Each structure stands twice: as C-alpha cells, then as structure tokens.
Homo-oligomer: A and B are copies of this chain.
Amino acid sequence: MPSHKQRKADKVGTLIIIGGHEDREGKREILKEVAGRVGKGKLVVTTVASEEPEESFEDYRKIFQDLGLKGVTHLNVNQRADADSEENGKLLQDARGLFFTGGDQLRITSLIGETHMETHIHNLFESGGVICGTSAGASVMCETMMIESEGGESHRIGRLRMAPGLGLIRDVVIDQHFAERGRMGRLLGAVAQNPRVLGIGLDEDTAIVVEELCYFTVLGEGAVYVVDGSCITHSNIAEEAEDHILSLYDVKLHVLSEGDTFDLKERRPLNAHQQDAGTNLENSATIPEIENPQETPATDG
C-alpha cells in the first residue's frame, strides 16, 4: 500500500469539523448529519484524544446507534504501537467514516503521527470517506494546528503555540469553542504569522461540512468566523517583543451562520441569494448533490 504522501487522491471525501459541545440530547443536528453521511457504512469512533476513552466511546455509541447507524466501532490508542497494529488497521480499511472525539490534540498527533493508522486515515479520506472531529478533533485536521494559548484576552505576539497537525485540510487554521472561550485574539495571532492560512473559528454546537476541500456549509446553533489576512497592510508580529500586543490592520472578517456556504478556493462566502442567482458560482467549485438530502438541515427562518 502506497503511503498517502505519494498517493494521488482519487476523490477526496467530506470533513465534518465541529467546534465542540455538539448537542447530544436535543435535536442532535450535527451528529445526525454525521450519521446521514455514513449511512449504511461503518463509523469508527477514535478516542485517542481522550483521557477517558471508554466513557467517551460509550456516549457516542449510544447516540449513533439511536440515530440508526449499525456499525459503530471503537478504536482507542494508548501507545504508538496501537496505531501501528494490524487489528486496528483493519478497523479502518472497510470504514465509511471516522470520528475524532475531543480531548488533547497533541495526544492525537504524538500517538498516531507517521504510523499506519495515519496512512489509513488519509486513505479513507482520499477515497471519498467522511472524517469528523470535535474540539481537539477539529483542530487536528489542519496542517499546522493551535495547541495552547489563552482565550479571553487579546493576542500577545509570543503566546501562541502551534504544532504540525494531520494535514487533512491545508491552508486553514481551525479554532473551536470560539465565542465561548473568547478566542478571536489567538486566531488573529495565527493568521498574522502567515496570512496564507485562512483562520476558521467554530462556536460550540456548530460545524462546517467541507466538501472535497472546495467549499463548506455551516450547520448548528452558533457562528463560524472566517479571518482572511490576504489584505493585511501592517502587522507588528515580527518587530515587537514577545509580550507586546499584536497590531494588525485591514483584516477581512466574515461571520457565517447556519446554511451559509463558503468557497475555500475563492475565499468568498456565497449567500443564499448568490447561490440562487448563480452569481460567483461560475468561478467556484461545483456544489455537488448531497447524497442524503433528508438529513440536510434546513436553515432557520
């Protein structure tokens, strides 16, 4: 089996990236979307990020079975050898979807980075599978992920810690629990470091469904913030002392709510009106038919 690094993707699949604390008892809109996408296939829930893997799996198993999934399987990793085991590899080889629970994103990457499990995950995604992650499981999808920084304060230049992520989606940096933990400062800090990356901040109980790495649609109760640094005219990030507050001029910010769609290649939101009229879509990714339209949430209002 070729490594995912050499392998050319046939047709990359779907990412469902969740800002943490998704509703598990009410409408369960986001988890319903996951279940709808996996359909009759097998969903592997990996608790590698978690300190309490059994409890975490048990929660999700009940919900996903309640939502109609038949093949919900647990994949836990306590040490790197688990991520290289043939048994665990087989779990992923015939899966339709993978779900990363929350916890610590550094546990995920330090335990599965450069193992067979990582290769299987990329293979699943690159053959059209559904990769989902909530909280730490959301952050880890980026090529470079945020791992630690204070919320609830403005960004000081030297405060942000980043690390290599799984690289399922490139050119973006994802933050979660966004409005709830006051993380605008740190997301601006990440984008300031290199405006090549688009900052995406996800509120709790809010997700983006990323289709073929081309565009995403917002789902859930909160907002999604997109920080586009391409037009920044001034930043003090490379000039000032580490404890100095970040200055950043001319950032473009979009606030998106349920039903809004964003074109990742053009870095543009497509609102409902634009989609109806076909405006902008000529230059955008084609929006494919959704396989389970009955599972797709309607927008409010």
Contacts and interface: CB of A to CB of B under 8 A. Distances in A.
A216 to B, nearest CB: 14
A131 to B, nearest CB: 25
B269 A249 contact: yes
Q: Is the interface of A mostly helix, strand, loop or mixed?
A: loop
A98 interface: no
A253 interface: yes
Range for the number of chain A residues in contact with chain B: 35 or more
A257 B244 contact: yes
A232 to B, nearest CB: 10
Given A179-B182, A179-B184, A182-B179, A245 B223 contact: yes
A301 B234 CA distance: 16
A269 B223 CA distance: 28
Interface string A219-248: 001110000000000101001110011111
A91 interface: no
Interface of A: 151-155, 178-182, 184-185, 188, 203, 221-223, 234, 236, 239-241, 244-258, 260, 269, 271, 273, 300-301
Given A154-B223, A184-B184, A251-B255, 8 more contacts: A152-B181, A153-B179, A179-B184, A185-B223, A241-B301, A244-B257, A249-B255, A253-B253
